Amino acid sequence: MTTETVVSGAAGGLEAALPTTLFRFATAGSVDDGKSTLVGRLLHDSKAILADQLDAVARTSADRGFGGEKGGIDLALLTDGLRAEREQGITIDVAYRYFATDRRSFILADCPGHVQYTKNTVTGASTADAVVVLIDARKGVLEQTRRHLSVLQLLRVAHVIVAVNKIDLVDFSESVFRGIEADVQQVGRELGLGSDGISDLLVVPVSALDGDNVVERSERTPWYTGPALLEVLETLPAADELESHLESFRFPVQLVIRPQGALAPDAVAAGLDVEAYRDYRAYAGQITEGSVKVGDQVSVLTPGQDPRTTTVVGIDFAGASLEEAAAPQSVAIRLADEFDVARGDTIAAAGTVREASADLYAALCWLSPKPLREGQKVLVKHGTRTVQAMVRSVSGKLDLSTFKLEGASNLELNDIGHAQLRLAAPLPLENYLHHRRTGAFLVIDPLDGNTLAAGLVKDHPGDHEDERYSI
């Protein structure tokens, strides 16, 4: 077997290629829509598969008689993971893959569609800049497609790309593709996906098996004038490009850096002024939204206290002093006033945060086999703070195929529903619709510590509720 040698962007083009930016995307699909083949094709054609991996797959393909006498490689095997998955021919869990082009480094969350698809799709979509949803061109939009799109709309994924796969099996028919495209856009309109000013919805005809429109545009679909899938992924703006300049500064404090004389010996050896750092105190964290500059007015939000306003006097990062910093940078912030600030507090741009609340209205994606009941005690992790909470009521669950809310008093695995929780301490909650980080939280089981649900903060009833968010 021949193998190609050089990863694209390597060696000769290396200098020109740096620095690349990161783009995270996830794939979601139904059973047998060829998702593994598509992922294998993307990895193979972008030269992310190395010779020893390809050899192993070629041997297995031959053992299983793939491609008949002609031979050939079953690209789906490239994404095979665990022994149990190979034995049962299924995919159990989200797997992460890595590849790069000259423009971008990609992190791909490969989400299986078989079991627990909601759990896997929610997990993959929570960090994704884009999600690729697969449809079999012979089958068109299925109920599971509607469910996937519904979850992606709820999680506010910026870019949804529907890949209409196996276009070779419908003889590269434009009319078949246009029909599916129209159905997808219709579902998008029902959901507000692609027409809400937040997300966009693209449809691309592909053959993962043969590579049409995956990395290169295909001559076999002359009626399709749009970009190939990889071109789309290379050029879409990442979520933080779309968001950071629009959002106000938010910074959950992870810990306080206060060495009190216990300075790093290597820093001291490199000439750190020990006296100047004797009273050093800075708040370490990752900027979740927006940006901050030295001299900015900020509020420190501590549960149960009124916001305290002060000035940023320093933004430090490992020996460098920055003038400004933006999401998603990890930094340490120094403030003008010596407040008592601790883990779990949030530093935010002054005057941009509404009052903290102990009443939490939310959409919950239930990810545990243990059902949610009214009256149940749980833990809520929001930012860097974990508080106790009680489930006051479940107000309904979503029918993902009709997008209607149905009455329900409990939630089970893979359900998405609405609930009201009472928190033991007020949190600076923000609507997930506009705050993909500060509007997100985890529901945790206090007994065994397992994650029960992904939570999305909704506005309080009576506040100005955004129509688009009421599903």
Partner 1 sequence: MSTYLSEETQVTDAAVSTRLSSLDTLESEAIHIIREVVAEFEKPALLFSGGKDSVVMLHLATKAFWPGKVPFPVLHVDTGHNFPEVIEFRDRTVERLGLKLVVGSVQEFIDRGELAERADGTRNPLQTVPLLDAIQQNKFDAVFGGGRRDEDKARAKERILSLRDEFGQWDPRNQRPELWNLYNGRHTVGQHVRAFPISNWTELDIWRYIERENIELPGLYYAHEREVFARDGMWRAVGEVSQPRPDEEVITKTVRYRTVGDMSCTGAVESNAFTVSDVVVEVAASTLTERGATRADDRISEAAMEDRKKDGYF
**Interacting positions 17-76 with partner 1 (CB under 8 A):** 18-22, 50-53, 56
| Alpha-carbon span 172 to 206, nearest angstrom | 9
Q: Does 89 engage in binding with partner 1 (CB under 8 A)?
A: no
User: Which among 62-70, 167-175, 193-201, 268-276 is the span making contact with partner 1, rule CB under 8 A?
Assistant: 268-276
346/384 with CB nearer partner 1: 384
What is the distance of C-alpha 12 from the center of its chain? 33
Q: Total number of residues binding partner 1 (CB under 8 A)? A: 100
With CB under 8 A as the contact rule, the residue among 1, 10, 31, 336 that binds partner 1 is 10
What is the distance of C-alpha 126 from the center of its chain? 3
Nearest distance in Å: CB 273, partner 1: 4
Helix axes 143-154, 174-191, angle to 10 degrees: 40
Nearest distance in Å: CB 304, partner 1: 20
21/402 with CB nearer partner 1: 21
CB 110 within 8 A of CB 96: yes
With CB under 8 A as the contact rule, the residue among 142, 263, 358, 424 that binds partner 1 is 263
Nearby residues of 470 by Cβ (< 8 Å), 6 or more positions away: none
Q: Using CB under 8 A, which residues numbered 346 to 375 contact partner 1?
A: 367
Q: Using CB under 8 A, which residues numbered 423 to 462 contact partner 1?
A: 436-437, 440-442, 444, 448-451, 454
Q: Does 305 engage in binding with partner 1 (CB under 8 A)?
A: no
With CB under 8 A as the contact rule, the residue among 173, 248, 329, 410 that binds partner 1 is 329
Q: Does 421 engage in binding with partner 1 (CB under 8 A)?
A: no
123/218 with CB nearer partner 1: 123
| Alpha-carbon span 117 to 112, nearest angstrom | 6
What is the distance of C-alpha 312 from the center of its chain? 30
Nearest distance in Å: CB 154, partner 1: 13
Nearest distance in Å: CB 40, partner 1: 12
CB 452 within 8 A of CB 444: yes
With CB under 8 A as the contact rule, the residue among 309, 321, 388, 470 that binds partner 1 is 321
Q: Does 405 engage in binding with partner 1 (CB under 8 A)?
A: no
Q: Using CB under 8 A, which residues numbered 172 to 231 contact partner 1?
A: none
Peptide bond into 222 cis (omega under 30): no
| Alpha-carbon span 446 to 358, nearest angstrom | 19
Q: Using CB under 8 A, which residues numbered 96 to 115 contact partner 1?
A: 96-98, 100, 104-105, 107
Three-point CA angle 418, 419, 422, nearest 5°: 155
125/141 with CB nearer partner 1: 125
Residues written for the chain? 471
Which residue, 159, 126, 168, is CA-closest to 38? 168
User: Which among 2-10, 157-165, 197-205, 410-418 is the span making contact with partner 1, rule CB under 8 A?
Assistant: 2-10
29/188 with CB nearer partner 1: 29
Regarding beta strands 404-406 and 282-286, do their DSSP bridges make them parallel or antiparallel, or are they unpaired? unpaired
With CB under 8 A as the contact rule, the residue among 89, 265, 304, 375 that binds partner 1 is 265
C-alpha count within 13 angstroms, C-beta hemisphere, residue 451? 13
With CB under 8 A as the contact rule, the residue among 248, 291, 357, 395 that binds partner 1 is 291
CB 19 within 8 A of CB 123: no
| Alpha-carbon span 441 to 362, nearest angstrom | 10
Strand locations in 296-376, DSSP E? 297-301, 308-317, 320-322, 324-326, 330-335, 346-349, 357-366, 372-373
187/443 with CB nearer partner 1: 443
Peptide bond into 328 cis (omega under 30): yes
User: Which among 34-42, 180-188, 214-222, 270-278 is the span making contact with partner 1, rule CB under 8 A?
Assistant: 270-278
